[in-house]
């Protein structure tokens, strides 16, 4: 089975721009979760999608949004980028979204 694929791997954006990150889950996995990892905050949960519906949401501002398509692929969008949004964004998929998460390698976003 192919693993969780995140694109792009690296991204540099300017403050005020918006960005879209993509995640292709493992075939058959219907749950996709997004996390932000920064050195001081560890892994912060952004949101989870299951069968195209947002099922859980973390404590991030509305500038962070996501969606899931019928093939379970998911996208995450961040609008009006701020310097503090620089982080590693990780996507994880699982069959039901409860226990066995498999992570992608992440997208390293740098906002300048």
Partner 1 sequence: DQQVKQNSPSLSVQEGRISILNCDYTNSMFDYFLWYKKYPAEGPTFLISISSIKDKNEDGRFTVFLNKSAKHLSLHIVPSQPGDSAVYFCAASGNNAGNNRKLIWGLGTSLAVNP
Binding site for partner 1 (CB under 8 A): 4, 6, 33, 35, 41-45, 48, 55-56, 58, 90-92, 97-106, 108
- 74, 68 contact by CB (below 8 A): yes
Closest alpha carbon to 69 in 49, 89, 86: 49
Question: Minimal distance in Å, beta carbon 104 to partner 1?
Answer: 5
**Minimum CB distance to partner 1 smaller for 5 or for 79:** 5
With a CB cutoff of 8 Å and minimum separation 6, the contacts of 60 are: 36, 44, 46, 47
**Minimum CB distance to partner 1 smaller for 66 or for 106:** 106
**Minimum CB distance to partner 1 smaller for 79 or for 102:** 102
């Amino acid at each position: 089975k192919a693993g969780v694929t995140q694109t792009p791997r690296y991204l540099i954006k300017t403050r005020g721009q918006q960005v879209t990150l993509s995640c292709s889950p493992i075939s058959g996995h219907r749950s996709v979760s997004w996390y932000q990892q920064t050195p001081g905050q560890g892994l912060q949960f952004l949101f989870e999608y299951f069968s195209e519906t947002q099922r859980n949401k973390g404590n991030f501002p509305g500038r962070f949004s996501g969606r899931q398509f019928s093939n379970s692929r998911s996208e995450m969008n961040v609008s009006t980028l701020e310097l503090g949004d620089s982080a590693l964004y990780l996507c994880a998929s699982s069959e039901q979204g409860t226990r066995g998460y498999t992570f992608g390698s992440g997208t390293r976003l740098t906002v300048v």
